[in-house]
Amino acid sequence: MSSNFIWAVATAAYQIEGGKDTDGRTPSMWDAIREIPGRIKDGSTKDLSCDGRNKYREDVQLIKSLGVTHYRFSIDWSRVMKNGKTRNPLGMEYYKDLCRELKKEGIKCIVTLFHADLPLDLYNEGSWLTEGIIDRFVEFSRYCYEELNEYVSIWITFNEIRMHAWAGVVKVEGEPFHSLDIDYKKFLGNVSVTRAVMVASRNMLLAHAKVYRLFHEKDDSTRVGIIVGAHSCMDAEGEKISAVSERATKSMVNLYLDPLIHPSNDWTEDMKEYLGTDLPPWSEDEKKLLKNTMDVLCLNYYRPHIVKERKGPSLVEELFNFTMVDDDWPKIGGESSWVRLHPRGLISLLEGLTKKEKEDGMKYPNVPILISENGVNDDPSLDSLEDTNRIQYIEAHIDGILEARRSGINVIGYTAWSLMDNLEWDDGFQVRFGLFHVDLKSEEKTRTPKMSVDWYRKKIEKERRDETMNKEVK
């Protein structure tokens, strides 16, 4: 294991900063969602946050106490560009202050440009359904690069691009409702919802490619990645890889990788077969733009899925002719949690991506892989600070990842989600993933370490010590 292995912890901007406008921040999509009665399960409004905007110095000390090498955070577009369009130096100053503080403590930055929250004006103008947003995103990214690049180790354009396309633009059957109820036909005409989703996907991939080219024109050593949700799928017959499990994985993972790193820089033929005319084509110039625009492949992983050959209830299951079925893996976050303890699912996906490098006609390049999120919510049956379930979950995944790395898979780092309890989108603050507990009722939004904090620090120390010893033996 290289001494450059990344040990990280992550949070997202809006989830800890909140919707406060004291530095010229303008409204975002999630501000509007949080004001709709009944949409957020704990009833909290946009005014409730962890106040990360004002507590960043304290939070950097929390990050330092973990012993990590990197901190992954995201930029709130609505904070740094008014209405998504005009530069706001006062809002940008917060991120510069945060980066300076991290640098002072020897912690490198992994920065996500888009993490599910769009400026409200841009959402109302068509969101990712219109091509005009591509240039808006490029200008936002340019501003971030100009102000922050000296501090950034890895830039990530989109967090879980597939998740946002299917859940954060329009309402889609069987997907989380993480958007406002936009009338996509107003922008695209009388087309199917599948077409709307894939137009949004196409525009985000083009925006990613343009930002990649821009950053590399400025400095070719810049590392740019994109996050895909690690939807590892296994056949119900013996938890194996089969035609149906591979097709399900392709629909949620490879569909978003192929235009960037497949030799054709196109949707693959099997995807065209399933999606038909709902899949918008690429021009030859667009294929050239997309080609090899990934320095780091980032994966957020929480659980795999068991699938069978049958059209399921959701749109994606119907389109790709599979259905997700119940599993018996440990419900590590309690009976109501969607997270499962099954690290083999991630290793299976990593092995599948590695295998593609060797298949004729596929030849995926050996792109470095960063596990950009992995974690579990508090188990309600445990004391809020005695998160032994989190320790069990994270340790199992770290051990699996390091074993995969030793076997030759190019995994360059691990990121725990999340630094502190924060807004978990439509669940509000009632579901807590943090290594640090946040007292949201206190004026100071007091942070208190859970058991996992000391454990994670010691785990990192042990793995780095073992690495040094192994080098000396060699």
* Residues belonging to the active site: 160, 373
Give the pairing type, strands 224-229 and 369-373. unpaired
Q: What count of other Cβ atoms lies within 10 Å of the Cβ of residue 124?
A: 13
How far apart, in whole angstroms, are the C-alpha atoms of residue 227 and residue 170? 20
**Prior bond of 418 cis (ω within 30°):** yes
User: Alpha carbon of 336 to those of 43, 163, 175, 343, 378: distances in Å?
Assistant: 19, 21, 18, 20, 11
Residue in the block written with tokens 């030849």? 363
What is the token pair recorded at 160? 């879980």
SS3 317: helix
Residue-by-residue DSSP string for 42-82: T---TT----TTT-HHHHHHHHHHHT-SEEEEE--HHHHEE
Buried b (16+ CB within 10 A) or exposed e, 133-152: bbebbbbbbebbbebbbebb
Rounded Cα distance, 312 and 238, in Å: 20
Bridge partners of 41? none
Query: Can you spell out the DSSP letters for 395-441?
Result: HHHHHHHHHHHHTT--EEEEEEE-SB----GGGTTSS---SEEE-TT
The CA distance from 197 to 87, in Å, is 29
CB-count burial class (<10 Å; 0-12, 13-18, 19+) for 21: middle
What is the separation of C-alpha 252 from the centre of its chain, rounded to a whole number of angstroms? 14
Q: From 464, 474, 461, select the one nearest 2 (Cα to Cα).
A: 464
The dihedrals phi and psi of 175, each to the nearest 5 degrees, come to -110, 155
The alpha carbon dihedral of 137, 142, 78, 43 has a sign of positive
Task: Report angle CA 298, 240, 350 to the nearest 5 degrees.
Answer: 20
Among the listed residues 95, 200, 101, 99, the one whose alpha carbon sits nearest the alpha carbon of residue 158 = 200
Phi-psi region of 385 (alpha: psi -120 to 50; beta: other; left: phi over 0): alpha
